[in-house]
């Protein structure tokens, strides 16, 4: 009987389009570097794991909606690229004329996606509104070792900014 009930619940969820919790909801956004808006670039110094340059992108339709309403709509996709930095002879990251770390190769890609109903299955102490997260290797393959729970825990502190750390930069780019 239990198996039948689970099968019915799964079928209803699939037919009804119900969004369930899970990083598998988020797909790698192919072509984002050419088709999204690069809205900020940030140096992320880290003595323990190594310095990183982070590039932040938003899909164009979400940027247009944000400019009009100052709210991120369902369908917003944010992409964060992490890049290894070029080192000098003292093993310090080199800073370019623009004040940003000079990079060597892409390290990873993290995607945050917002959809109506996403996140509803998470407990209140973990839920980030309607956001879901996924981590990918530099080549776009899903990173099975990524600790996505860390994303939720960290982003909780940004509840007043729609759980986004780069909201100030997004506001500036939207002007």
Q: How many structural domains compose the chain?
A: 1
pLDDT tens profile 83-94: 999 999 999 999
Residue 3 lies in a domain: no
Residue 7 lies in a domain: no
Task: Check which CATH number belongs to the domain holding 141 and give it.
Answer: 3.50.70.20
Residue 129 lies in a domain: yes
Q: What is the pLDDT of residue 9?
A: 35
Four-CA torsion 134, 128, 80, 83, nearest 10 degrees: -80
33: left (phi over 0), alpha (psi -120 to 50) or beta: alpha
Average pLDDT value for the chain: 89
**Alpha-carbon Rg for the chain in angstroms:** 18
Residue 160 has pLDDT above 50, yes or no: yes
pLDDT tens profile 39-80: 999 999 998 889 999 999 999 999 999 999 999 999 999 999
Residue 51 lies in a domain: yes
Residue 77 belongs to domain spanning: 20-173
Lowest model confidence (mean pLDDT) among 13-22, 26-35, 57-66, 153-162: 13-22
Residue 9 lies in a domain: no
Q: Taking the model in full, what pTM does it have?
A: 0.86
Residue 2 lies in a domain: no
Stretch (H or E) spanning 68: helix 60-69
Residue 13 has pLDDT above 50, yes or no: no
């Amino acid at each position: 009987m239990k198996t039948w009930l689970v099968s019915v619940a799964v079928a209803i969820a699939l037919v009804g389009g119900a969004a369930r919790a899970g990083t598998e909801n988020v797909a790698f956004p192919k072509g984002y570097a050419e088709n999204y808006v690069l809205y900020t670039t940030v140096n992320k110094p880290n003595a323990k794991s190594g310095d990183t340059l982070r590039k932040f992108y938003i899909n164009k339709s979400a940027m247009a909606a944000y400019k009009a309403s100052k709210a991120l709509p369902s369908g917003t996709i944010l992409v964060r690229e992490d890049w290894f930095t070029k080192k000098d002879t003292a093993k310090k990251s080199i800073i370019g004329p623009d004040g940003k770390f000079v990079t060597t190769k892409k390290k990873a890609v993290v995607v945050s996606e917002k959809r109506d109903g996403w996140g509803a299955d998470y407990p209140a102490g973990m839920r980030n509104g309607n956001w879901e997260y996924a981590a990918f290797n530099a080549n776009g393959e899903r990173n099975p070792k990524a600790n996505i729970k860390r994303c939720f825990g960290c982003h909780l502190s940004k509840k007043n900014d729609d759980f986004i750390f780069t909201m100030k930069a997004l506001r500036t780019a939207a002007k």
